[in-house]
Structures are given as structure tokens and as C-alpha cells.
């Protein structure tokens, strides 16, 4: 195993892990507020087609990322209106949002099938980004650096700031938070919109970096892995990085199996592993007792103020 192979593997793992890490980071904030949004996959797909279409039409990838962010936030806001203002079931509405995202992205994307765009490149000079050694640090797209900074910032926000404490209080006991004057619904609206915006950016990473060629449902279920990753991390930002890269290694093994043709297990085995492990993790953690890894107490429960 050569150094070049190791660097290639690390670059691949980091790249394919980034959209999962982004989507999971946004969903962590949503769930900390006491809301569970199962529409992550749908919001990612909305961001995927929005970022791709705007980038292709304007030639400006930064505008594409901005529109993908707004598209994800808009889809999430629709979900928030239904579940927070109208009292719809969070699980059913989240699933409906995923179906909506799949259909909308397919409809809009029908005009872009087979069209390619230039991928978003590393923000660092070519001498560093393309160097055989330093590219493991400097050879990534801006999405990678943003994802790492974001998860660290979210961890700091939740654990070290007053606003983060309020967010956790709303997720743990919404009635108590309401009784002392905190606007529970407004805080949850903000959290849901933030999660949708980050999911939109995660989707844009697929169509603007990982595979800058439009194809239907190109997120391939990564939104569901992001949901499982939040549980896998025990609703703690510090564990998201390790969990995300664990799933990233599994997905990289699928690519290796396809490329090598002589792997011990076929590529289909590795393709199924992230989803199989996600189901196992959800089952194991849901059966655990104790405070460690415990979900926010109000997660998925509607807020009904007393009087």
C-alpha cells in the first residue's frame, strides 16, 4: 500500500462524507429543538437541483450554492408551517417532504439530464491543491472546509452559549421554556429553517462537486444515513465527525470494490452496508437506557401550551 494510494483514499473518503456530515449537522440542531424532520432526503434533492440549475444557467457556482441554501430552507419552512402552526404529524409530514423533494427535483431536472457543469474547485492555489501530498489537506472543495467548521461551531453553540442552552431547553421541556417566556414555536421555526438550509447545501455538494452531472435521485438515500448519524452520535456534535467518516469509509469501500474488480466482497455488499448499519445503530441505541445518547425529551411531540 503506497502513500499515494493512502492519500487518494483519504481524499475520496473526505469528499463523499461531506454531504452526510452537513445534513446531519443541520438535523442535529432541528432535533435539539424537539422537532424531528424525516424530510432530509427531500430537502437535499431540492438543493441538488437548485444548485445545479442555477450554476448551469448563470455560470456562477456561488449563486448556485446560495439558491440551493434558500431552496432547502424554503422546503423546511413548508414543513414547519404544517407541523408547528397546523399541528400535523411530524413523521408523516417529513416523509411527505421527502416524496415532494424527489418529485420536484425530477420534474425540474428533466431539462438537465445528461448536462454537466464544471465542479467547484479547491479555494487554495493549484500548487497546494494538486500536490501529491498536500492535497489531502488543501485539495478539497469549499464544502469540505465549511462542513468541518460548521459541526465545530454547532458544538460550541449548543454547549457554550446562552442561545444554545435555550435551544436545548425547548427540546427537553417545551412547557417549562414557554412558562419562563421563551418563544418555543419561533425557536423551532428557526431551527427547522436552519436545518433545511444546511440540507440544501449538502445537496448542492452532490451536483456541484461529487458528480457534477445531473441524474435523478443522485443523493441515493444519503439523507436517511444523515438521520441515522444524528442518533449514532447520541445527539452530540462532537461525535458527528467520527460517525460521518465511519460511514464514509464504508461508501469508499464500495467504490474500491467497483474499481478493483477483485475485492473480497462485491460492490453491492459495500453499497448496502451503510444502510444496514444505520438500521442496526438505530435499533441498538433506541433500546439503550440512561442519559448518555438519550434523545431530547420533547423530540417529535407537538407543543401544546397550557392556556
pLDDT in tens, 247-302: 888 777 776 766 665 556 666 666 677 777 766 766 665 555 444 567 898 998 88
Q: Give the integer Cα–Cα distance in Å for 125 and 57.
A: 27
Domains of the chain (ranges, CATH numbers): 10-286 (1.10.3470)
Nearest Cα neighbor of 26 from 276, 229, 286, 206 is: 229
Terminal CA-to-CA distance of the chain, rounded, Å? 67
Q: Give the integer Cα–Cα distance in Å for 98 and 41.
A: 6
Find cell 492555489 and name the residue: 125
Angle between helices 142-160 and 184-205 (to 10 degrees): 160
Give bridge partners of residue 116 from the DSSP assignment: 213
Which pLDDT belongs to residue 156?
A: 95
Work out the percent of the chain whose per-residue pLDDT is above 90: 53
Q: Dihedral sign for Cα 33, 35, 36, 41, please.
A: negative
Which pLDDT belongs to residue 290?
A: 44
Query: Do the Cβ atoms of 203 and 19 come closer than 8 Å?
Result: yes
In terms of pLDDT, which residue wins out, 242 or 66?
A: 66
C-alpha separations of 262 from 39, 42, 254 in Å? 37, 35, 12
Q: Give the integer Cα–Cα distance in Å for 244 and 228.
A: 10
Q: What confidence category does residue 303 fall into, taking pLDDT thresholds of 50, 70 and 90?
A: confident
Question: What is the chain's percent helix, strand, coil content, to nearest 5?
Answer: 70, 0, 30
Host H or E run for residue 172: helix 162-172
Host H or E run for residue 267: helix 267-286
The string of pLDDT tens digits covering residues 93-122 is 999 999 999 999 999 999 898 888 999 988
Query: Do the Cβ atoms of 122 and 140 come closer than 8 Å?
Result: yes
Which pLDDT belongs to residue 142?
A: 94
pTM of the model: 0.89
Which pLDDT belongs to residue 307?
A: 52
The string of pLDDT tens digits covering residues 2-27 is 777 788 788 888 888 999 999 999 99
Nearest Cα neighbor of 230 from 199, 201, 208, 204 is: 199
Averaged pLDDT of the chain: 87
Amino acid at each position: 500500500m503506497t502513500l499515494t494510494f493512502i492519500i487518494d483514499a483519504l481524499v475520496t473518503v473526505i469528499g463523499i462524507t461531506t454531504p452526510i456530515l452537513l445534513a446531519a449537522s443541520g438535523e442535529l440542531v432541528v432535533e435539539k429543538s424537539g422537532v424531528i424532520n424525516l424530510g432530509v432526503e427531500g430537502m437535499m434533492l431540492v438543493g441538488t437541483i437548485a444548485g445545479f440549475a442555477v450554476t448551469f444557467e448563470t455560470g456562477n457556482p456561488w449563486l448556485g450554492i446560495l439558491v440551493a441554501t434558500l431552496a432547502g430552507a424554503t422546503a423546511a419552512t413548508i414543513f414547519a408551517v404544517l407541523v408547528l402552526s397546523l399541528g400535523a404529524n411530524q413523521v408523516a409530514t417529513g416523509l411527505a417532504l421527502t416524496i415532494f423533494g424527489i418529485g420536484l427535483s425530477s420534474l425540474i431536472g428533466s431539462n438537465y439530464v445528461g448536462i454537466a457543469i464544471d465542479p467547484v474547485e479547491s479555494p487554495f492555489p493549484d500548487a497546494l491543491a494538486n500536490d501529491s501530498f498536500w492535497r489531502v489537506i488543501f485539495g478539497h472543495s469549499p464544502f469540505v472546509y465549511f462542513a468541518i467548521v460548521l459541526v465545530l461551531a454547532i458544538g460550541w453553540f449548543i454547549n457554550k452559549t446562552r442561545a444554545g442552552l435555550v435551544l436545548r431547553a425547548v427540546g427537553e421541556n417545551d412547557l417549562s421554556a414557554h412558562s419562563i417566556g421563551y418563544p418555543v414555536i419561533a425557536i423551532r421555526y428557526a431551527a427547522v429553517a436552519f436545518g433545511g438550509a444546511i440540507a440544501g447545501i449538502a445537496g448542492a455538494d452532490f451536483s456541484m462537486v461529487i458528480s457534477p452531472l445531473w441524474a435523478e435521485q443522485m443523493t441515493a438515500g444519503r439523507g436517511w444515513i444523515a438521520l441515522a448519524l444524528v442518533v449514532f452520535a447520541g445527539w452530540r456534535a462532537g461525535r458527528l465527525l467520527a460517525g460521518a467518516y465511519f460511514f464514509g469509509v464504508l461508501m469508499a469501500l464500495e467504490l474500491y470494490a467497483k474499481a478493483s474488480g477483485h475485492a473480497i466482497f462485491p460492490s453491492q455488499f459495500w453499497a448496502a452496508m451503510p444502510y444496514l448499519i444505520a438500521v442496526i445503530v438505530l435499533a441498538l441505541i433506541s433500546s439503550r437506557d440512561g442519559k448518555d445518547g438519550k434523545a431530547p425529551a420533547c423530540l417529535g411531540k407537538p407543543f401544546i401550551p397550557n392556556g
